[in-house]
Amino acid sequence: MSMRAVTFLGDRAMAFVEAPKPQPGPGEVLIEIQAAGICGSDLGFLYRPSAEETAAAPSAYDQWTPSVAGVIPGHEPAGMIVEVGPGVSHLQVGDRVACYHITGCNECRACRSGWMLHCPTYRSYGWQRDGAFADFMVADAKSCIKLPEGVSSVEGAYCACGAGTAYQATKRGAPAGGETAALFGLGGVGLAGVIFAKAAGARVIAVDPIPLRRELATALGADVALDPAAGDAVAAIYELTHGEGADLTIDYSGSSPGRLAALDSARVWGRSVFVGERNLTTIDPSPQILHKQLTLHGSWVCSWPVMDELIQRLAREALPLERAVTHRLPFDQIEAAFRIADSGECGKVVITRDAG
Ligand SMILES: [Zn+2]
Ligand SMILES: [Zn+2]
């Protein structure tokens, strides 16, 4: 039995390949993929690099653990369990699940706290082990989170990395009711961040140069949306806060201007969170951090329990996560989906199951 999977060829080219349909081993399940999100890191590390870079380092993503060549990409998996391996008792065929996208040894302290991300032997779906851009995926039963009624596979996939990352960053920044939170970068992660900061009761100022993303942020609850290309966003944030600056600023962009604006628009005794990946940024610590008594957090992905908490909240509360998903394309149109995600003229883009 074979299945379809996707491989990246470099220079924004990709192809379908036939791969053997995997079999679940002990402690594993086989998932029929129903939704697989496209994450910014897929674009930056897999889709955009040149053919030479792709050939030399099929996944240049990881500075921490060398990635394995030939891995099926896709690290936001959700679907239905169609086979259960030996020793799995809490999951059954027919269960709908999303997968926390990092697996570990399950024994070390990082794993036992649910932060498999910091396991010395961590392996992520789509980077170090086969992922979700395929018809089927084998997952560790321990990484599966059952989707409650009312939580869609698309939402589950979104939580596996993008929305989970924003949820954790929001927890780190801990906006309180009545505070002002300024968020920089409104891609799939930043838009989810707007929803969570708003749900915490903050006044949200959302910043992004792309008009469609500002419109989406406003539709998702942002109180003010600023175009950093049209004027000084930092000055505008001071104006909106009686000259004090924002209580909390979060950079979801990963760009140097976004990070610097996050530092500069935070108030004295404020908090900043850096979430967006890559790029070098030169900081002048005295004026930008020390003299304003700033608390600066780094926030990387989330833990298994935090992803679980988010999914349970989605079942209970009317968080408009589904509305941040602007494009749902069937698997056979994954190439078009990547082109849309790459253009930036979108919110979250999610691949869904097609007839095959
Ligand atoms: Zn991701
Ligand atoms: Zn471990």
* DSSP per-residue codes, 268-295: EEEEEEE-S--------HIIIIITTT-E
Specify whether 127 is located in the same domain as 185.
Answer: no
pLDDT at 131 over 90: yes
Pairing of strands 224-226, 28-38: unpaired
Distance 64 CA to ligand 2 centre (A): 15
Specify whether 196 is located in the same domain as 128.
Answer: no
User: Considering every ligand atom, which ligand is closest to the CA of 140?
Assistant: 2
Specify whether 156 is located in the same domain as 169.
Answer: no
User: Considering every ligand atom, which ligand is closest to the CA of 166?
Assistant: 1
Q: What is the pLDDT of residue 57?
A: 58
pLDDT at 335 over 50: yes
- HSE-up of 132 (CA within 13 Å, CB side)? 34
Distance 35 CA to ligand 1 centre (A): 14
Specify whether 60 is located in the same domain as 139.
Answer: yes
Distance 306 CA to ligand 2 centre (A): 17
Instruction: List all residues 6 or more positions away from 66 whose beta carbon is below 8 Å from its beta carbon.
Output: none
Specify whether 227 is located in the same domain as 91.
Answer: no
Confidence of residue 70 (pLDDT cuts 50, 70, 90): confident
Chain segment 277-307, per-residue pLDDT in tens: 989 999 999 999 999 999 999 999 999 999 9
The CATH number of residue 97's host domain is 3.90.180.10
- HSE-up of 272 (CA within 13 Å, CB side)? 24
Distance 121 CA to ligand 2 centre (A): 6
Chain segment 134-184, per-residue pLDDT in tens: 999 999 999 999 999 999 999 999 999 999 999 999 999 999 999 999 999
Percentage of the chain exceeding pLDDT 70? 95
User: Considering every ligand atom, which ligand is closest to the CA of 40?
Assistant: 1
Token couple for 26 = 């002990």
Distance 215 CA to ligand 1 centre (A): 23
Specify whether 156 is located in the same domain as 206.
Answer: no
Specify whether 123 is located in the same domain as 246.
Answer: no
Pairing of strands 203-207, 180-184: parallel
Q: Which residue range forms the structural domain that includes residue 112?
A: 2-161+302-352
User: Considering every ligand atom, which ligand is closest to the CA of 124?
Assistant: 1
Q: Is the pTM of this model over 0.75?
A: yes
Nearest alpha-carbon partner for 204 in 188, 193, 216: 193
Distance 158 CA to ligand 1 centre (A): 9
pLDDT at 58 over 70: no
